[in-house]
Structure 1
Amino acid sequence: MQIEIVPFKSSYLKGVLDVWNEVVIAGKAFPQTEILNENTGYDFFMSQSFTGIALDTTTAEVVGVYILHPNNVGRCSHICNASYAVKSEFRGNGIGKMLVIHCIEKARKLSFRILQFNAVVASNKNALSLYESLGFIRLGIIPGGFLNKDNVYEDIIPHYFIL
């Protein structure tokens, strides 16, 4: 497997939707509840400041995706936010780390000053470990801040990283 992070383009849409919707359907990490289709997905991924695709260049398969966008507007628009997804059968191979590192570099190029995660779900131990290893700072715990698909509330742990 040879992974390269490339910009989103329409020819990757089906693969990106498969990766993204898998996380949405699981209901344990993303706040979104709506499945994206070809129309809504294309608009969504194109509306980001940047959408990065983890592509296995040996098979041309989309194995991961990240979105990067401002976390807020106006006087807080220098703070960005991102979400990451790796196709389940490829997790544990360092693809998530590649996505986060690429995202940090892209955020700097886009002149963002801080990368903030609003809602890292407490049970997402792999993400928490990754963010800690890369130097992200935990901001505390928001009790019951995330409603899992099974209607159980779970804590979230916001993070930030100075770019």
Structure 2
Amino acid sequence: MNDIEIRPAHEADFESMWSIFSAHIAAGETYTFSSATTREAAHQYWLGAGVHAFVATSSGGRVLGMYRLVPNQPGRGHHVANASFMVNPAAQGAGIGYRLGEHCLDQARRNGFLAMQFNYVVSTNTAAIRLWKKLGFAITGTLPKAFRHKRLGYVDAYVMYQLLQDPDHWPTADE
């Protein structure tokens, strides 16, 4: 796992990113995107304006996973980050998600975010829930039957949250 590099995503990475994205969407188990999501929509989601996207690559340059980091809300919610992660199905279980998660939390702090929120973690995605808890997130809300799982039908989704800095040391809110 030491031969993995995490770096900003480039346009040249998109073909691999699209392949990973397509595999997750086709599975219908973890993301709300429709199977009809276009390549252009996926490109905008991962590499659009205001998106900070990163990829984990092997020593040979193969994209193993990716994440995107954005503000969770505009304006008065802009201090809270949001992120989305996908790991190549062939690379799952090798610690790529953990490495991406650690990198993302560090990057969020460097970008000045004070907290991070995941708006929609599918309750049946136990590997992700275990990972996020290991990285310091807590489930702060349950959205009953909010996700239409491809195999299991309607299942819950969770909101997960983590403070990135002690609120006693947050900057004074301004207009």
- Shift of the 73–20 alpha-carbon distance from structure 1 to 2, 3 Å rule, reads same
Structure of higher CA gyration radius: 2
- The normalised TM-score by structure 2 is 0.86
1:12-48 Cα shifts (integer Å, max 9, x gaps): 11111111121111111112114342x4443332224
Question: How many Å apart are 1:150 and its aligned residue?
Answer: 4.6
Q: Report the equivalent of 2:126.
A: 125
Partner SS, residue 106 of structure 1? helix
Matches within 5 A, 1:61-100: 61-100=62-101
Matches within 5 A, 1:111-150: 111-150=112-151
- Shift of the 156–100 alpha-carbon distance from structure 1 to 2, 3 Å rule, reads same
Q: Report the equivalent of 2:168.
A: none
Q: Report the equivalent of 1:51.
A: 53
- The normalised TM-score by structure 1 is 0.91
Partner SS, residue 72 of structure 1? coil
Identity of aligned residues (%): 31
Question: What are the ranges of 5 or more consecutive residues in structure 1 without an aligned counterpart?
Answer: none
Q: Is the 8 A contact 1:80 1:116 kept in 2?
A: yes
1:94-136 Cα shifts (integer Å, max 9, x gaps): 0000111111111111111111011111111101111111111
Q: Is the 8 A contact 1:20 1:65 kept in 2?
A: no
Partner SS, residue 66 of structure 2? strand
CA distance in 1, matches of 2:46, 2:119: 19
Question: What are the ranges of 5 or more consecutive residues in structure 2 without an aligned counterpart?
Answer: 165-175
